[in-house]
Amino acid sequence: MAEQLLSRAGAPALLRTALLQLLEARPQEPVRFLEELFEGLSQGAPGAIGPERALWYLRLAPHCRRTAFNNNVSLAYECLCAGGRKKKPGLNGRTYGDLLSRLCKEGAAPVEVIAPLLKKIQCRDHEAVPFEIFRYGTLTCFVLLEYLAKAGALYDLLNDSGEVDERICMAILETLEEVLEASDCCVPASYLEAGTKLGPDGLVLAMDKALLAKKPTSTMQRGQFLLKSAALFLAKVKPIN
């Protein structure tokens, strides 16, 4: 009776599909992944294609988990290339650009940062977007979001009195620029790897040097600091065209 019930309900095939997708995606939170997957199965979502499904795959694992992230990027690309009744197979520049814009906006990147970034990594609306370009673009967006989060955390660390001396901020930005100069401009993730070299000793020296400088004291707001930090990042992003 139990086996017949499971068979009629399609449970074996359902569980097999879930486990295969779990192994394929390798999400950061497996239980949550399965919850969303079963919810999607009940709504017919697993068969869906397009941007929503692609975004779902891209959010599953952080870019630092390279094997899982690369696999999910491939799945997202396949979703976008599948094509529907009114769409030819393949990924065009317009859909690709819209996806990158959504990734950045959902990550709370400032509008002033999103526009110049997309100008470097998006394609023309009518152009076909190959997988390597798609991977480079999505990876760059995720690295930028993490970079901005780290820059914001650094500012918050300095902001113990409600404001940060502009001299200290500029010294930190100069040190950050030196670190980014040593990174590989062709590999976005290397910006963060290089950033690990911006250790406490280097920051202390930079701040001491800044405070010894005889310049008028003023403050820098968090938004200003983030925009200046982002500008350093954007200067290193390699344009795809």
Asked whether the predicted pLDDT for residue 77 surpasses 50, the reply is yes
pLDDT of residue 141: 95
- Note if the pTM is more than 0.85: no
Let me know how many helices (H) and strands (E) the chain has, helices first. Answer: 12, 2
Residue at token pair 């152009």: 127
Contact (Cβ atoms closer than 8 angstroms) between residue 155 and residue 226? yes
What's the mean pLDDT when you consider all of the chain? 78
Asked whether the predicted pLDDT for residue 71 surpasses 70, the reply is yes
E strand intervals along the chain: 164-165, 219-220
pLDDT of residue 34: 78
Annotated domain spans of the chain: 9-87
pLDDT class of 153 with cuts at 50, 70, 90? confident
Q: How do residues 15-65 score in pLDDT, each as one tens digit? A: 776 777 777 677 778 888 777 776 655 544 444 557 888 888 888 888 888
pLDDT of residue 57: 83
Q: How do residues 218-240 score in pLDDT, each as one tens digit? A: 888 899 999 999 999 999 888 98
Contact (Cβ atoms closer than 8 angstroms) between residue 180 and residue 136? no
Q: What percent of the chain has pLDDT over 90?
A: 29
Rounded alpha-carbon distances, angstroms, from residue 116 to 101, 108, 127, 226, 227: 11, 15, 19, 15, 12
Give the tokens for residue 121. 């990594």
- Mean pLDDT check: name the lowest of 58-67, 114-123, 125-134, 176-185: 176-185
More confident of the two residues 99 and 4: 99
